[in-house]
């Protein structure tokens, strides 16, 4: 006989399973790793893309070397780099005399990094989950990566940054962002007119923020922030921890 107690017990189990599944899915999303397969597939051609060979991404990576150099110039002390990719920024940071801890979720990217810079260890991790660090950090850097996080995840990441940095330490990011939602749509419309289907899909799929959103996220966590536009897509941000 099917009793109320049995029904309640089975319902309880179903709810637990649903909660675990929901937690698991949320955990995957919170990790910000939903694009790893894309980057694993892109790893071999990444350096060619940033060199401007792909016309769809030529403007995205215009002034690429200058962007990396600017991030390097604005860095100080020990550096934590998120999304090291194939190591292009890391090389500049090392050449400038910084000690660098690299974090990269893509195994394919890490393999290329290790071939290019075998003397430097890159750790498996992302903006939200990474191994415990054994040295103090004065600068957190990243290029072309922060947009993989939703705006809510960006807030969580910046909150974690506050636990790594002391007063007057900094975050130096270069990433695609837009002055407004309308400005982003204008870029999408132009890409569609040019037949840049891959770029259009990219702009619609990823979580490219507005500058106002980024400013609010950092200011809410007690950072002072400045912006500098580097090309039609990329902005440099320098966020100084106030206390």
Q: Which mean pLDDT values do the consecutive 10-residue runs of the chain (243 residues) have?
A: 40 34 38 59 72 92 98 99 95 98 92 92 94 96 96 98 98 98 98 98 96 99 98 98 92
Q: Are strands 79-82 and 139-143 parallel, antiparallel or unpaired?
A: parallel
Q: List pLDDT tens digits, range 59-80.
A: 999 999 999 999 999 999 999 9
Was 104 annotated as part of a binding site? yes
Whether residue 84 contacts residue 185, with contact meaning beta carbons closer than 8 Å, is answered with: no
Match 């397969």 to its residue by tokens. Answer: 37
Q: What is the pLDDT of residue 201?
A: 96
Residue 16: its pLDDT value, please? 30
Could you give the residue ranges of the DSSP H alpha helices within 150-196?
151-164, 181-193
Burial 76-94 (b: 16+ CB within 10 A, else e): eebbbbbbbbbbbbbbbbb
Share of the chain above pLDDT 70, in %: 82
Predicted confidence at residue 21, as pLDDT, reads 34
202 is in an annotated binding site: no
Which tokens belong to 16? 């637990």
**Is 151 a known ligand-binding residue?**
no
| pLDDT (0 to 100) of residue 44 | 66
């Amino acid at each position: 006989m099917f009793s109320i107690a049995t029904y309640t017990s089975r319902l309880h189990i179903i709810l637990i399973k649903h909660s675990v599944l929901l937690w698991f899915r949320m955990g995957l999303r919170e990790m910000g790793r939903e694009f790893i397969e894309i980057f694993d597939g892109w790893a071999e051609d990444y350096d060619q893309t940033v060199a401007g060979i792909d016309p769809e991404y030529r403007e995205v990576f215009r002034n690429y070397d200058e962007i990396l150099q600017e991030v390097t110039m604005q860095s100080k002390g020990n550096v934590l780099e998120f999304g090291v990719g194939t190591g292009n920024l890391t090389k500049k940071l090392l050449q400038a005399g910084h000690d660098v801890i690299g974090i990269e979720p893509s195994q394919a990217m890490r393999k290329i990094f290790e071939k290019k810079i075998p003397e430097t260890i890159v750790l498996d991790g992302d903006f939200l989950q990474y191994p415990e660090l054994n040295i103090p950090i004065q600068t957190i850097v990243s290029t072309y990566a922060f947009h993989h996080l939703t705006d809510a995840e960006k807030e969580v990441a910046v909150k974690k940054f506050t636990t790594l940095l002391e007063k007057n330490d900094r975050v130096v990011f270069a990433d695609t962002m837009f002055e407004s939602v309308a400005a982003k749509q204008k870029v999408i419309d132009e890409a569609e007119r040019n037949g840049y289907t891959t770029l259009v899909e990219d702009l619609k799929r990823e979580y490219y923020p507005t500058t106002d959103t980024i400013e609010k996220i950092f200011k809410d966590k007690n950072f002072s922030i400045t912006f500098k536009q580097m090309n039609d897509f990329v902005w440099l941000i320098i966020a100084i921890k106030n206390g």
